[in-house]
Amino acid sequence: MKLVTIFIQILFISLFFVLGAGVKEIFSIPLPASMIGLGFLLLALFTGVVKLEWIDKGANFLLAELLLFFIPSAVGIVNYDEIMSWQGLELVLIIAVSTFIVMAATAFTADFIQKKQSSAVK
């Protein structure tokens, strides 16, 4: 039953991607359809149109398996030796710095949310 719930929630999240793709197609917005869809999902969550309970298990599953989504691109870059030979050091440096920035932003956000939740409990 848990897998069915996760599957349905992932489908529900995917509807926002489809909505974003439709809006991008109609209005020619220079943003990826996935970002537009996530914006709609965020707006729906903030306004209460979508309850967090409706998507939490599916979203947690997607986040837990996030690394699998990056494997094809990492394997694909190995096919281009010229990229690694000419700009290999630059790429490694950019990846390291951007990874650090994402980790730091995530840590600060998690810390902020934890402090906010613990102060609300008191």
| 22-61: pLDDT as tens digits | 999 999 889 999 999 999 999 999 999 999 999 999 999 9
Cβ–Cβ < 8 Å for 39, 24: no
Last residue of a domain, one of 17, 35, 64: 64
Q: Evaluate the CA torsion angle 10, 14, 16, 17 in order and state its sign.
A: positive
Q: What is the pLDDT of residues 1-21, one digit of tens each?
A: 899 999 999 999 999 999 999
- For residue 84, the enclosing domain spans 70-122
**pLDDT computed for residue 86 by the predictor:** 66
Please write the tens of the pLDDT for every residue from 73-116.
666 666 766 666 667 778 778 888 998 999 999 999 999 888 98
Residue 22: alpha-carbon gap to chain centroid: 19
- Give the number of domains in the chain: 2
Q: Are 18 and 40 in contact (CB under 8 A)?
A: no
* Model-wide pTM > 0.85: no
Is there a single domain that holds both residue 44 and residue 26? yes
